[in-house]
Structure 1
Amino acid sequence: MTPLSSPFIASHAYPASQRLRSLLEHGLPLTERPWQALAEQCGMSEGEVLAWVERWQGEGLIKRMGLVVRHRALGIRANAMVVWDLPDATVAEVGRRLAAEPAVTLCYRRPRRLPDWPYNLFCMIHGTRRDRVLGALDEIIERLGLQAIPHRVLFSLKAYKQCGGRYTREEQS
């Protein structure tokens, strides 16, 4: 049995895997072979890096890998969070339909926080200008028949630093 397949040996027993986990928190290198680049930084082979990532996915340590787009740097500065107050019986179906809209970049359900916050579905629409974002929203509302659904449009006023989850201490990096 190899160390990677042993259920009795924790990943913290391997300094190279700790280094890999720390590096993954900062994102994949922008290179043709990101797994190979990580392997070189950790003193592993590319196959070992992929085996650790697969193991961590299987264990639930890595649930998903995504992409953080620095949209403001691309000129996309009109970013609206649209919050919806949908009947609980329809929120899942409307959420699926909204998520399928090309203008919607993110869509998810959250619990209401009554009495102040009745909204249970959230979606993001990004654009270069507010009028275009609002126009896209109007088209979505018309297409999906959401005219009677209470909602609010909240435009971003400030860009915050975006990053993925952090699971290691900085000194391990």
Structure 2
Amino acid sequence: MELSNLQHRLIERLRDGLPLGKHPYADIANDLGTTEGTVIETLEQLIAHKVINRFGMIIRHRALGYQANAMCVFDIGDDAAPDIGKAMAALPYVTLCYRRERVAGVWPYNLYCMIHGRDRLTVRAQIRHLIARLELHDAPHKVLFSKQCFTQRAGKYGAPRASVSLPAPTETRAIPDEVREIS
């Protein structure tokens, strides 16, 4: 689907979320010089064509008292990974779940899930439950607790707002090509 000018502008306008107010779609329409009905119809088209997969919000979990989170990484057989991934994603405490390629000799894990909790003890209990429920006792895995949050925001898609020029690296390191590809 090739996007129209209005569709591009609407996606750009939604990058920072819906405006807070009684009539957010009318506010967006006003910004774009169109009608509320046109904004809603355009969103419906984008959803129908799967340009927009879901519409949601980001909750700042730390502000709600969820102080601990961990990325759990597992080495799951390739044939079993899709079913185990779906089962993981269905657990109420798993907030993110996805599969990636392994990097031979560097990183053996291919299934990832994020778990948030009020404290590390709770998160560890949820991880034990996940492992028991999905019978992953023998699956190699690691639990990576977050130390510091630098950002938490939705993905930004479409035309960039401004071009950013990064400086050339001043130091070179021997990093295998496979690792560079997954960064």
TM range (shorter): 0.7 to 0.9
2:4 matched to which residue of 1? 11
Aligned residues: 161
Distance 1:83 1:45 in 2: 47
1:62 matched to which residue of 2? 52
Q: Larger deviation: 137-146 or 83-92?
A: 137-146
- Structure 1 pair 129–45 and aligned structure 2 pair: CA distance change class (3 A): same
Matching of residue 170 in structure 1 with residue 164 in structure 2: no
- Structure 1 pair 149–169 and aligned structure 2 pair: CA distance change class (3 A): closer
Identity of aligned pairs, percent?
Answer: 41
1:29 Cα deviation after fit: 2.1
Matching of residue 159 in structure 1 with residue 149 in structure 2: yes
SS at match of 1:170: coil
2:64 matched to which residue of 1? 74
Matching of residue 143 in structure 1 with residue 133 in structure 2: yes
In the alignment, structure 2 segments of 5+ residues that lack a partner are: 163-183
SS at match of 2:142: strand
Distance 2:121 2:67 in 1: 12
After TM superposition, the score normalised by the length of structure 1 is 0.81
Distance 1:44 1:83 in 2: 46
1:149 Cα deviation after fit: 0.8
Distance 2:32 2:107 in 1: 47
2:14 matched to which residue of 1? 24
What per-residue deviation string (whole Å, max 9, x for no partner) do you get for residues 53-81 of structure 1?
23334555434333222112222121100
RMSD: 2.3
Distance 2:48 2:129 in 1: 41
- Which has the higher relative contact order, 1 or 2, with Cα contacts under 8 A spaced 6 or more apart? 1
Question: Match for 2:116 among 126, 129, 138?
Answer: 126
Q: Larger deviation: 23-32 or 95-104?
A: 23-32
After TM superposition, the score normalised by the length of structure 2 is 0.77
CA contact (8 A) 1:83 1:153 kept: yes
Q: Larger deviation: 27-36 or 136-145?
A: 27-36
CA contact (8 A) 1:25 1:167 kept: no
Paired amino acid for 1:11: S
Distance 1:32 1:19 in 2: 22
Distance 2:160 2:126 in 1: 42
